[in-house]
A and B are shown apart, each in its own frame.
Chain A
Amino acid sequence: MKKTKKMSRLLFWEAVRGYLFIAPALILLIGLLFIPMVQGFWYSVTDFNILKSWDYNFIGLDNFKKVIADEDFGIILKNEVIFAVVVTVITVVISMLIAVFLNNIRHGKNIIRALVFMPWVLPEVVVGALWRWILDGEKGLVNSVLVEYLHILPEHIQFFSEATALASVCFVYIWRTYPYVTIMLSAGLQGIDKELYDAAAVDGCNGIKRFWYITIPNLKYVLSICSLMAAIWTMNGFGIINILTAGGPGVSSTTLPMTIYKTAFQKFRFGEASAYSVIQFVIIMIFALIYLRVTKATKEEEA
């Protein structure tokens, strides 16, 4: 009896110590991420508009009705879906190709990986500016090369027009994201047992078969983690879009984060912007849950 009492006292102090060590991190995360998130939920049912006043009243679901009734809402959601799907799928496919290719290179692997990784470490603003002037409709490099130097096209392409802006934004986000996915996948590839490939080669499997039956199944975990992370980052993406197109022309390249930003900090309708935020949050959390499911499922499989 006495012994268990002593044990539980030890456990109690161990827990206290543990909590003390994680306290600073937890305070920051709760204070600066979690509480604002919850506060945002509250704003979404109020008429908060800082142009009118810093006070606000409860108005029920009016903001949501207004947001859903907005004529652009459908376009924005559609843009968000296209943006997320296109960027994620193309990024993963390209990264896979590059990772498999790099895996077959024997010399200078580390330096090559570091160089390939470069687009991921640049400031968002620099990435946006860089591509804005490379793709510029008048004096952009791409147009000059295609039209004036190589004479492939008769006239300049406008990469930021109503029809093309979203595609350009997707392209730049792919350029930004693929380095991360590539190095994750190449690390995953290096973790695959070489003997599996040797055995398959003995059995007469060709390269494509080996890729399909050995590489892909073994990379399942990394692939799903990377795809989910890429999707979440893309859906939350703001900086590069804002620099490239600011969501325009019109709403042709406007996604949810862009809408939230514009509603909150250009029209100062905090309540309405928060309603968009809640919608965005729900979508992201669905992906987060899948992410947790995937990481948990694999851990149980291993155990």
Chain B
Amino acid sequence: MNRKLIFVLKALGLAMILFVALFPLFWMFITSGKTMTELLKIPVTLWPERFSFESYYEVWVQKPFPTYIFNSLKISIVATLLGMIVSSMAAYGFAKFRFPLKKAILTFVLVAQMFPSTSIIIPLFSTYRNYGLYDTHIGLMLLYTTISLAFSVWMMYGYFRGVPKELEEAARIDGCGPLGIFTKVILPISKPGVAAVGVYSFMVAWNEYLYSLILLTSEKNYTISIGLSRFITEFGTYWNQMGAASIIVTIPTLILFLLLGKNLIEGLTAGAVKG
């Protein structure tokens, strides 16, 4: 009897936790299926009378959302690849070579991630204008690569330090140089870490808002964050379309997270377990 009660309580608790985490997303989906006339009803209907794809059509065909998505995909993919290369190189340098100031530089990498982005953006805005990076995608790619670096370097550093010295020695005897050891031994072993860095960098780039808000100005260059935020200010009451746009924007993150989220969570929590 007691056991049953505990089971029920546990199930209830779990249901509540999942409800809090997921219901808002579900509500976004429900709203996206409503028609304009249904949206105007008070009280709000809890279920669409008839799930309509009208809002998806509006967002996809009448508004330039495909352009925003294409831009964001382009920027995020380049930033992710660049971030994976740059951060794994740096982590390898930190993990396998002795050089002066290593600790200080590692600390700097860690602290740089805490700099407030609202402060960075002011000088960056004028620098970007001076160097022709303003309103370009290249400017954002570089910036997005940079803002996820700190985390990526530290995570890879953890993985690389775990690679047994014997394996490297063996490769060295087989005639591998430092670059060969890096690409043929260390990277393949650290695949889960590389995957985690990839997911993380993609999400940072895909979700980023402030920098693109300031550094992009022409509509054809907009990223999804800017597209969506403009949408909120201009079409404040078209909540079904906002829902549809939000769903569309969330899908790539969702797919990536479902595929590689396990790696990301492992990478994020690695520090928590080791201490």
B-binding residues in A (CB < 8 A): 11, 14-15, 17-22, 24-26, 28-29, 32-37, 39-40, 43, 50, 54, 98, 101-102, 104-105, 110, 112-119, 121-126, 128-134, 138-141, 144, 147-149, 175, 179-180, 183-185, 187-188, 190-191, 221-222, 225-226, 232, 235-236, 238-239, 242-243, 256-257, 260-261, 264-265, 270, 273-274, 277, 280-281, 284-285, 287-288, 291-292, 298, 302
CA distance A22 to B203 in the complex (A): 23
Residues of B88-128 whose CB lies within 8 A of A: 89-90, 92-94, 96-100, 102, 105, 107-112, 114-127
A116 to B21, CA, bound (A): 6
Known: A43-B122, A104-B10. A17 touches B178 (CB 8 A): yes
Some 15 contacts from A to B, beta carbons below 8 A apart, are A22-B94, A22-B105, A29-B108, A29-B146, A32-B143, A33-B120, A34-B108, A40-B122, A121-B254, A125-B228, A129-B232, A132-B232, A236-B114, A236-B118, A239-B225
Residues of A within 8 A of B115 (CB): 33, 37, 281, 284
Provided the pairs A33-B115, A36-B123 are in contact, do residues A123 and B44 lie with their beta carbons within 8 angstroms? Answer: no
Closest residue of chain B to A142 (Cβ to Cβ) is B44
B25 on the A face (CB < 8 A)? yes
Contacts of B42 in A (CB 8 A): 138-139, 144, 148
Asked whether B18 lies within 8 Å of A133 as measured between CB atoms, the reply is no
Task: Give the secondary structure class of A's interface.
Answer: helix
With A175-B24, A298-B275 given, name 9 new contacts (CB 8 A).
A29-B112, A33-B115, A34-B108, A121-B257, A125-B207, A125-B249, A183-B269, A236-B116, A242-B229
Of the residues A36, A149, A188, contact of B120 by C-beta under 8 Å: A36
Chain A proximity mask over B40-65: 1 for CB below 8 Å, otherwise 0: 00111010000000000000000000
Given A105-B10, A281-B116, A121–B18 Cβ distance below 8 Å? Answer: no
Measured in the bound complex, the distance between the Cα atoms of B250 and A270 in whole Å is 34
Q: Let me know if B142 and A32 touch, CB within 8 A.
A: yes
Chain B contacts of A21 at CB under 8 A? 89-90, 92-93, 97, 178
Q: A21-B90, A22-B90 are in contact. Are A130 and B146 (CB under 8 A)?
A: no
Q: Do B44 and A114 have beta carbons less than 8 Å apart? A: no
Provide the residues of chain B in CB contact with A288, threshold 8 Å: 111, 114
The reply to whether the CB of B5 lies closer than 8 angstroms to some CB of chain A is: no
B216 at the interface (CB under 8 A from A): no
Answer whether residue B173 sits at the interface, using C-beta atoms and an 8 A cutoff. no
In the complex, the answer to whether B119 meets A37 with C-beta atoms within 8 Å is yes
Give A49 Cβ to nearest chain B Cβ, in Å. 12
Q: Is B224 positioned at the interface, with any CB of A under 8 Å from its CB? A: yes
B246 CB-CB contact with A under 8 Å: yes
| B272 x A222 contact (CB < 8 A) | yes
Q: Does B17 touch A at the CB level, under 8 Å?
A: yes
Least distance between B229 CB and chain A CB atoms (Å): 5
Please list the 10 inter-chain residue pairs (A to B) with the smallest Cβ-Cβ separation, ordered nearest first.
A21-B93, A18-B97, A148-B43, A187-B269, A277-B119, A25-B90, A39-B123, A15-B99, A123-B207, A144-B43
